[in-house]
Amino acid sequence: MNLFVIGRGGREHSMIMKLAESDKVDTIYAAPGNAGISEAAECVDIDELDIGGLLEFAVKKQIDLTIVGPENPLLAGIADEFHEAGLVIFAPEKDSALIEGSKRYAKAFMEENSIPTASYATFTDAGEAKSYIEQQGAPIVVKADGLAAGKGVIVAETVQEAMGAVDDMLVNNALSKAGKSIVIEECLMGEEFSLMAFVHGTNVFPMIPARDHKRAFDQDKGPNTGGMGAYAPARDISPKTLAFSSENVLQKAADAMAAAGQSFTGILYAGLIMTDNGPKVIEFNARFGDPETQVVLPLLKNDLLQVFLDVLGGKDPSLQWEEQSCAGVVLASKGYPGSYKKGVKLPEMDMDAHSFVAHAGTRKTRDGIVSDGGRVLLAGAKAAEVEDAAEYAYKWLKQNVHSEEFFYRKDIGKCD
């Protein structure tokens, strides 16, 4: 089979490394890819949002299956366009992807379908939002309605910080269209975990739970990012909690979308938090999480391509998982999630028996591989226990990365 993977990050590199293990694969193309992806796939210079260009390429190369990594092409309607052209794509159509594309829509959807989540209110007027914050007090969460690359969520510890977030989004237009409307919700307390599932209509096949660390610095300090590291499985999440989350979150969401004529096909991701009143949804995503994918897929025993084919064919893929843990630590550009320098040369990477690397923001030049994004790569490893897996990942980083132009958290898998 000829496969086409859309995206340029660590999630896509992880998918491609797993797909390349399948004996059913002939050629994997990636658009636009990155330096690491180019080692396992043929990269084509087409932007993720150039839907017409991607469609034309898929037709020309007789692509058998397209898999979409990032969220932006989903909201741009890539699945709709591919379906109209008679092509097979593992991704939700635009209407279904709105569960990630709009926080307002997602909260209303959860409320309407009795999916447990935090209490909330939505605003487009800064004055009204600030009055609500004064009434509710802090801590409180301020979220941009639209897509903001992981930077549209402010967990405000004080009323003043929350007011500043409102001004940034609604007055100063710091997040452009994404912040034209905001959601303000109660700050839930508890351990967070991510639960992803392969979904086709009302068929839902959950994966193992992972834990992502969003804050930039150790001990969960600093601004929110797209994710500074992750591990799987999150062993503190009980089978009872997983069963509840699968049935009352993922399955309910899939059933509701199907009933509304917006049947979901793809990866449904629930970001959850374990509160004193049980698990509640923080957010939905309509695709593989990043960096959770980089620590979940290495533990999957199944042929990933066969999983996609089974799910699309209405069959149970009978997911099987290794009895191990996987941890990954993100190497980020200095300054991320704010401004940072691109084009910083990366060292020659010496791999060992324990570790692996998923490239994110990298590109090839004549002089070697250089940085091309805020999150540059993820160093990962597997071991019996998450602490040992994390130790292997940190050992690789210490041996290979010495530039002051990069940083990484020192406590992934260690601070729970």
**Token output for 101:** 């594309």
pLDDT of residue 321: 98
Q: What is the C-alpha separation between 352 and 395, in angstroms, rounded?
A: 10
pLDDT in the model for residue 151:
75
pLDDT at 416 exceeding the cut of 60: no
Interatomic CA distance for residues 263 and 314, integer angstroms: 13
Share of residues in the chain with pLDDT > 90 (%)? 93
Q: How far apart are CA 124 and CA 173, in angstroms?
A: 12
Architecture of the CATH domain 2-94: 3-Layer(aba) Sandwich (3.40)
> Would you state the pLDDT for residue 318?
98
Q: How many C-beta atoms surround the C-beta of residue 397 within 10 A?
A: 18
Query: Domain 325-407: which topology?
Result: Glycinamide Ribonucleotide Synthetase; Chain A, domain 4 (3.90.600)
For residue 279, whether the previous peptide bond is cis, meaning omega lies within 30 degrees of 0, is no
CA–CA separation, 211 and 398 (whole Å): 23
Could you tell me which of 37, 45, 44 has the C-alpha nearest to residue 20?
Answer: 37
Q: How many CB atoms lie within 10 A of CB 89?
A: 26
Say whether pLDDT at 347 is over 90: no
CA distance 298 to 296: 6
What is residue 234's predicted lDDT score, i.e. its pLDDT? 96
Q: What percent of the chain has pLDDT over 70?
A: 99
Tokens representing 227 are 């994710």
CA angle 265, 110, 234 (to 5 degrees): 70
Whether residue 334 is predicted with pLDDT greater than 80 in this model: the reply is: yes
pLDDT above 90 for 150:
no
What is the per-residue pLDDT across 368-411, written as a single tens digit (0 to 9) for each?
999 999 999 999 999 999 999 999 999 999 999 999 999 999 99
**pLDDT exceeds cutoff 60 at 41:** yes
Question: Is residue 84 predicted with pLDDT exceeding 80?
Answer: yes
Please state the rounded mean pLDDT for residues 220-227. 90
Backbone dihedral angles phi then psi of residue 104, each to the nearest 5 degrees = -60, -45
Closest CA to 36 of 70, 13, 20: 13
Q: What is the pLDDT of residues 359-371, one digit of tens each?
A: 999 999 998 999 9
Q: Are 356 and 397 in contact (CB under 8 A)?
A: no
Tell me what pLDDT residue 191 has. Answer: 93
Encoded tokens for 70: 């990032």
DSSP run (H or E) holding 184: strand 182-186
**CATH match of 125-180 with 3.30.1490.20:** yes
Average pLDDT on 70-90 reads 98
Mean pLDDT of all residues in 149-155? 82
Identify the band that residue 415 occupies on the pLDDT scale cut at 50, 70 and 90: low
60: which residues sit within 8 A by CB, 6+ positions away?
A: none
In this prediction, residue 224 has a pLDDT band, given cuts at 50, 70 and 90, of confident
What CA dihedral angle connects 117, 123, 126 and 127, to 10 degrees?
-100
Check pLDDT > 90 for residue 324: yes
- Mean pLDDT, rounded, for 99-119: 97
Residue 132: Cβ-neighbour burial (10 angstroms; 0-12, 13-18, 19+) = middle
> What mean pLDDT do residues 278-283 have?
96
Residues in contact with 166: Cβ distance below 8 Å, sequence separation at least 6, in sequence order? 123, 126, 129, 130, 133, 142, 182
Residue 20: burial class (beta carbons within 10 Å; 0-12, 13-18, 19+): middle
Summarize pLDDT for 285-302 with one digit per residue, the tens. Answer: 999 999 999 999 999 999
Residues 14 and 230: beta-carbon distance below 8 Å: no
In the 8-state DSSP scheme, what is residue 70? Answer: S
Q: Which secondary structure element, helix H or strand E, spans residue 95, and what is its range?
A: helix 94-101
For the cut 90, the answer to whether the pLDDT of residue 353 exceeds it is no
User: Is 3.30.470.20 the CATH classification of the domain at 191-312?
Assistant: yes
Higher pLDDT, 373 or 148: 373
Residue 193, pLDDT > 70, answer yes
Q: Once rounded to an integer, what is the mean pLDDT over residues 258-276?
A: 97
Residue 351's pLDDT is: 79
For residues 194 and 209, what is the distance between their CA atoms, to the nearest angstrom? 6
Instruction: Specify the 3-state DSSP secondary structure of 53.
Output: helix
pLDDT at 313 over 80: yes
Per-chain mean pLDDT for the chain:
96
- Asked if the model's pLDDT at residue 149 lies above 80, the reply is no
Report pTM.
Answer: 0.95
pLDDT at position 350: 79
Beta bridge pairs of residue 231: 211, 327
The predicted-structure confidence for 1-22, as pLDDT tens digits, reads as follows 999 999 999 999 999 999 999 9
Residue 115, judged by CB atoms within 10 A of its CB (0-12, 13-18, 19+), counts as buried
What's the DSSP call for residue 222?
E
The answer to whether the peptide bond before residue 337 is cis (omega within 30 degrees of 0) is: yes
Q: DSSP string covering 320-385, please?
A: -B-SSEEEEEEEEETTTTS-----PBPPP----SSEEEEESSEEEETTEEEE-SSEEEEEEEEESS
User: Domain segments of the chain: what residues?
Assistant: 2-94, 125-180, 191-312, 325-407
